[in-house]
Structure 1
Amino acid sequence: MTPTRKTLAVLTAGTLLAGCGADIENDDNTTEAVTVKRCGEDVEYTTPQRAVVYEGGSADKMFALGLTDHVHGYVMPPANPPVEDSPWASEYEKVEFLSDDLLNRELVVDAEADFVVAGWNSGFSDQRGITPEILDGLGIQSFMHTESCFNYPGFPERVDPFDGLYADLERLGQIFGVEDRADELVEEMQARVEAVQEQLPEADQLRVFLYDSGTDQPFTAGNQVPPNDIIRFAGGENIFADLDERWVQVGWESVVAADPEVIVILDYGDQPADEKIEFLKTSSVTSELPAVVEDNFFVLDYNEGISSPRNIDGLEKFAGYLRDLQDS
């Protein structure tokens, strides 16, 4: 059955709820359809039974909602840290590892998937020939992280990154009939964010640079990805918060001009944080930045930086780091 147009959004949960199961309200064999948002598009879904998920953020959202039995397998490219490090490591063991390559149509078809979870330009790609529209034509349902819908062609959707996380959990909850579980997760996450806000020091915001990768020119976080919310909710100021972008390439001159006091290093599985820190300390361009001179580096796990239930873990850790820094 080819899905008709619809939209989805759901939130995912924190480490405290890791591995917690959910009762699926819909019968596994139900053919009843529900309309949910997929970015800015209304799509009709029936309950999936063989989901393929791309990267840790997609898998963790499903696991946090107690949907492991509906996940056939996962695709985990080298950038993602080992799944053994996930709060849902035991859930990964219950499903099939499909590939350590990029998501592709052949893999999805061979897996006999009836549902694919990924982000736009982070899994789904026009260039690689795997898009929601193409999968619709194959009768395979799909879901995109709301955070990635900012530049989705034809049906864009713009929300703050944490709101996108909440929307994903809620929308996935609708698709799988676990709305109560999704609501609980979102409420818990929102309460954890509020708790961080209540502990913010009265000191001035520290200027923060998110260093993703790149030596000739750095990649960093604009205001459309989770690290921007992590930084601002923790009481810092993302020096590129005025860029209406997701992950974006900038010039080192603009980094130097912003004079960052703290540098957040995104720790990839295949690009370790210590190598990036060593580059910043030895480069003539960055070695005199206040953050580098003071050794103010915070390492953010890859799965805490992409849209994931672990965003809230990253926020709590970074907020604690900033509090300690400002108290010292």
Structure 2
Amino acid sequence: MRRLLALVAALTLAACGQAPAPRQQTETASAPQAGFPVTIENCGRKLTFDQPPSKVVTGYHPSLETLLALGLGDRVAGRTFFGESAFLPGQKEQYDKIPQISETIMLPQKEVMLAQGADFVLDNAMAGFDAAGGYAGVEELHAAGSPVYILGGWCSPEETLQYTLDKTFTDIQNLGKIFGVSDRADKLVSELRSSLADVKKRVEGRTPVKVLATDGGKGPVNAYGGSGITQQMITAAGGENVLKDVKGDYTEVSVEQVSAAQPEAVLVSDYATLRGEDMPSSPAKAEEAFAVAKNSPAAKDRRYLALPVAAQHPGYRNILAITDIARFLHPDAFAQ
């Protein structure tokens, strides 16, 4: 089994298609709701909603987490699999109540997906809609009355590299409009922005800590370059990515490059319970990093943080993770 993150990173391999056909109208029209219809643009497509979705299917877990943060768990009719640990506080109970429709983090195959009769599909990448992989396509789902929204602007490999934190705020506000809960969305965005402002104030003026973000590997090393979510989180938390000049997000770098980078701290992608011979634990991956950069300050201090891989994909959690990273990098800034 290849590393899970390699699979999740592959979720961006299928680019968005052309604008799909207009959403079909239901035979029985219901009374219009205040604030509707709502039209949102996503991945170059315009999605129009005559009423809030009530039968939602979510893909990889960060998409579900984001809806739960907005108090919309009762709208979710089906979800994909997520490990037994690394849940955000209070969300495991809600997760358990939602029917699981896939044994993996990916959406189910085409026939199963279409049979859900969803009126909204939320995910954070495009591979779950790749016809070549046996999945229902974005246009196909749209025509069936199941419009698809992709979080974080992860609509193509190129757009994945262009991610900024503001895109998560935009997603939350768009979801607020789609579900008719803009007040909740605005409140959540305000709370998250306040959290980021607090981190910025605490780390401002401090020397950035040199960080290696890795997914393990003794050579080449699976690591995170100077584009994408992980880069954004490290910078916002008062760190400096030692591979910031490496093009790309999740990529491979040489042992020599990592050794020369002299990191002061290491972030390790953690996969909760999804481990095995080909999926080493976070401590094991940290030891691999220390062995590669054996003369670095990070190796001498054995300094690493296990970062849930769900936080490295678009959704509510990647904003929360910035505080955790900042506490790890600058503990004295949070002493008071």
Deviation for aligned residue 1:126: 5.2
The one of 136, 140, 156 equivalent to 1:134 is: 140
1:186 is aligned to 189
Q: Tell me the equivalent position of 1:52.
A: 57
Secondary structure of 2:121's match?
A: strand
Cα distance in 1 for residues equivalent to 2:221 and 2:140:
33
* Count of matched residue positions in the alignment of Structure 1 and Structure 2: 299
For 2:32 and 2:86, how far apart are their aligned partners in 1?
32
- 1:57-90 Cα shifts (integer Å, max 9, x gaps): 000111111111210021025xx55375554222
Which moves more between the two structures, 156-165 or 316-325? 156-165
- Structure 1 equivalent of residue 324 of structure 2: 317
Q: Is this contact kept in 2: 1:234–1:319, CA < 8 A?
A: yes
Q: Deviations over 1:235-270 (max 9, x none)?
A: 111123344533233333322232211110111132
- Mapping of 1:125-204 within 5 angstroms? 125=130, 127-128=132-133, 129-149=135-155, 151=157, 160-200=163-203, 202-204=205-207
* Partner Cα distance (2:250, 2:303) in 1: 22
Tell me, yes or no, if structure 1 residue 120 matches structure 2 residue 129. no
Give the equivalent residue in structure 1 for 2:40.
36
Letter paired with 2:40: V
Once the two structures are superposed, residues 132-175 of structure 1 have per-residue CA deviations (whole angstroms, 9 ceiling, x without a partner) of 233224332111012413537xxx58754321211111111111
Q: TM-score, normalised by structure 2?
A: 0.78
Counterpart amino acid of residue 308 in structure 1? G
Show CA shifts across 1:301-322 (max 9, x none).
Answer: 2232222322233211211121
Helix, strand or coil at the partner of 1:93? helix
SS at match of 2:175: helix
Q: Which runs of 5+ in 2 are unaligned?
A: 1-19, 24-28
Moved over 6 A (4+): 325-328
Q: Which has the higher contact order (CA 8 A, sep 6+)?
A: 1
Deviation at 1:292, TM superposition (A): 1.7
Q: TM-score, normalised by structure 1?
A: 0.80
SS in 2 for 1:96: coil
Q: Does 1:249 align with 2:252?
A: yes
SS at 1:207 equivalent:
strand
Structure 2 counterpart of 1:278: 287
Q: What's the Cα RMSD here?
A: 3.0
Distance 1:256 1:298 in 2: 19
- Shift of the 297–37 alpha-carbon distance from structure 1 to 2, 3 Å rule, reads same
The correspondence of residues 299-318 of structure 1 with structure 2, limited to 5 A, is 299-318=306-325
Cα distance change, pair 244–165 in 1 and its aligned pair in 2 (3 A): farther
| Matched residue, 2:111 | 106
- Please give the alpha-carbon distance, in whole angstroms, between the structure 2 residues aligned to 1:37 and 1:167: 11
